[in-house]
Amino acid sequence: MTNDTSIKIGAPVLRWSARAHSIAEIESELARIWSGQDLTATVDGEPGRHVSARTSVMNFVVVARRPELAERCAATMQSLTGRHPSRTIVINSADPDGPSWFDARVEAHCVVPREDAPETCAETIHVTCGGESGLHLAAIATPLIVHDLPVTVWWPGEPPLAGRPARDLLAGADRLVVDASTWGGDGLARLREMADLVETTDLAVSDFALVRQSRWREAIASIFDDPDFLPYLRSLRRIAVTYSTHDATGAPGSTNMVKPVYHVGWLASRLRLSVVKPLAPVTGHGHGHAPAPAKGARGGPVRPAVSRGVAATLSDGHAEVAVVVRPVVSSTPPGTTLRVELLAERRGSELRADVTAEADTVHVRVWQDGVEAMERHFRAPRRTDVDLLAEAIESGRRDPVAVGALRSAAAIVGPAGARS
């Protein structure tokens, strides 16, 4: 047991730590944490700050398959204690084929977010288990959840969304947080599984991959704030997304494609485009144009990969919209969107938009009938897991934009195997 009472403004401090070997022991430790506490603490050497009682505004369940991932997630959660004090349950299950075992550490972290703010404390329960115990995630999390508070499940890595343990755990959750851009292969099969989950449950999903693109969406939307360009919005004829790969062949499945596909999914959902032909590898001359060179984009010069990428055909009910998602070899992290190009045609007039990533900005350029008509920059610094998690938590119920983008992305991806 630890009871450290020295506090620095803004930094979480461990105020309590105890071991437990069963759910009952955890519950008993949770009760002890707050019953025997001295409600004063030392701040910068001065005693006397009043310690507020435990605060929880939600339950946070983290399923981490590796210990280092569990530690990283717990640290992220502690950074959010001041902003979103939660009961956090970190489950790290290992060796599913071995004997069953269960070990837990119960901790209380406190933070004084500002000089004039009361201290806020929250509990973290680290559960490590092996064998069959680790398979029954819902049986571990459910008894430890503070009832009546929303439950968010953060599943870093590769969540087996179609499996029974995940379905059971998520049945008691309000929100699932994932990062689909870290999934293996092209990530698209799992994206479909996640879309199925959203269709069949009330679960809200926050995907860091989609949240990170918010500045891109803002940049693309800003083009059509201009009344001169707005009429072109319903006459989109081509969407081309270029993404980075480290694989010179650019073969389908070699690089995560969730982010570029989300761009198309978002546009398709907002513009109510239906899928005529799902994504399939481009063969022959396919959808025509080679990607425009992305010189100066994040990570310096790029060169086309051998693969011509994948293509799909959408429809706005009147005309078809060609979609190309294409890799280029770049030193930026694989799967990063480098460019989104839009082409719209209306009454013999053409609008071309080119949105590119440049260092910490998104650069928008628009040409109307070949004449440059607009140029803007949007700052888009890389956001940390803490920022992304905070935004996920703060988004309330299901975000219709996220649901629409995911649903359309899954439809564009098409049935499994269509892309190979």
Partner 1 sequence: MAEPAVKPKDAPRTMKELRLARAGKRSSRAKPVENVLREGLRLARIPDPSVMVLFGATGDLAHRKVLPALYHLWRTDLLPHEFQVLAIGRRPFDDETFRAGIQASLEKYSRILPLDAEAWRSFEERITYLRLDFEDASGFDALVTRLDSIDRDCGTRGNRMFYLATQPSQFAEIVGQLGRVGLDHERLESGWRRVVIEKPFGHDLDSAKRLNREVAKVFRESQVYRIDHYLGKETVRNLLVFRFGNGIFEPLWNRRYVDHVQITVAESIGIENRGAFYEATGASRDVLQNHLLQLVSLVAMEPPATFQANALRDEKVKVLRAISSDPLNPATDAVRGQYGPGWVAAMPVPGYREEPEVDPESETETYVAARLTIDDWRWSGVPFYVRTGKRLPKRATEIAIQYREVPHRLFKDEGVAPDANLLAIRIQPDEGIMLRFGAKVPGLRLDVRSVTMDFTYGSAFNVDSPDAYETLILDALQGDASLFTRADEVEEAWGIVDPIVNAWAEGPPDFPNYDAGTWGPAGADDLTVRDGRRWRRF
- What would the DSSP string read from start to end of 299-340? TS--EE-SS--EEEEEE-SSSEEEEEEEEEE-SSPTT-EEEE
Q: Is 228 helix (H, G, I), strand (E, B) or coil?
A: coil
Minimum gap (Å) between residue 268 Cβ and partner 1: 11
- The DSSP secondary-structure symbol of 402 reads H
Exactly one of 5, 52, 100, 201 binds partner 1 (CB under 8 A); that residue is 52
User: Restricting to residues 4-43, which ones interact with partner 1 according to CB under 8 A?
Assistant: none
Counting contacts by CB under 8 A, is residue 57 touching partner 1?
yes
User: Which among 314, 299, 190 has a CA at the least distance from the CA of 243?
Assistant: 299
Question: Under the criterion CB under 8 A, does residue 234 sit at the interface with partner 1?
Answer: yes
| Contact with partner 1 (CB under 8 A) among 32, 270, 289, 407 | 270
- Tell me the closest approach of the beta carbon of residue 194 to partner 1, in angstroms: 19
Q: Which amino acid is at 251?
A: A
Q: Indicate whether 222 belongs to the interface with partner 1 (CB under 8 A).
A: yes
- d(Cα 59, Cα 41) in Å, to the nearest integer? 26
Query: How many residues sit close enough to partner 1 to count as binding (CB under 8 A)?
Result: 43
- Distance in Å, CB of 199 to partner 1, minimum: 19
State yes or no: residue 387 binds partner 1 (CB under 8 A).
no
Q: Does 397 sit near partner 1 (CB under 8 A)?
A: no
Task: Mark the segment that binds partner 1 (CB under 8 A) among 145-153, 239-247, 253-261, 266-274.
Answer: 266-274
Of the candidates 350, 399, 414, 418, which one interacts with partner 1 according to CB under 8 A?
A: 399
Name the segment binding partner 1 (CB under 8 A); options: 39-47, 49-57, 61-69, 91-99: 49-57
Q: How far from 169 is each of 20, 90, 174, 210, CA to CA, in Å? A: 22, 13, 11, 23
Give CA–CA dist 264/276, Å, rounded: 14
What dihedral angle (degrees, nearest 10) is formed by the CA atoms of 270, 275, 281, 287?
Answer: -80
Q: Tell me 98's DSSP state.
A: S
| Chain centroid to CA 327 | 21
Among 224, 273, 302, 393, binds partner 1 (CB under 8 A): 224
Q: Which residue, 302 or 405, has its beta carbon nearer to partner 1?
A: 405
Q: Is 83 in the site for partner 1 (CB under 8 A)?
A: yes
Distance of CA 344 to the CA centre of its chain: 30
Near partner 1 in 339-358, by CB under 8 A: none
Contacts of 174 (CB under 8 A, 6+ apart): 150, 151, 152, 203, 204
Minimum CB distance to partner 1, residue 214 (Å): 4
Stretch that binds partner 1, among 65-73, 177-185, 295-303, 378-386 (CB under 8 A): 378-386
The reply to whether 296 sits near partner 1 by the rule CB under 8 A is: no
For residue 99, give the amino acid letter.
Answer: P
Q: Tell me the HSE value of 61 on the side-chain side, using a 13 A CA sphere.
A: 26
Site for partner 1 in 108-127 (CB under 8 A): 113-114, 116-118, 120
Which range binds partner 1 by CB under 8 A, 133-141, 189-197, 284-292, 371-379? Answer: 371-379
**Three-state SS at 374:** strand
Q: Which residues contact 350 (CB under 8 A, 6 or more apart)?
A: 343, 344, 367, 368, 369, 370
Question: Could you tell me the two tokens for 158?
Answer: 């590769």
Q: Does 217 bind partner 1 (CB under 8 A)?
A: yes
Contact status: 381 vs partner 1 (CB under 8 A): yes
Is 288 one of the binding residues for partner 1 (CB under 8 A)?
no
Other beta carbons within 10 Å of 247: 15
Residue with tokens 């349950």: 89
The reply to whether 388 sits near partner 1 by the rule CB under 8 A is no
Contacting positions for partner 1 (CB under 8 A): 52, 55, 57, 82-83, 85, 113-114, 116-118, 120, 214-215, 217-218, 220-222, 224-225, 228, 230-231, 233-234, 267, 270-271, 361, 375-381, 391, 395, 399-401, 404
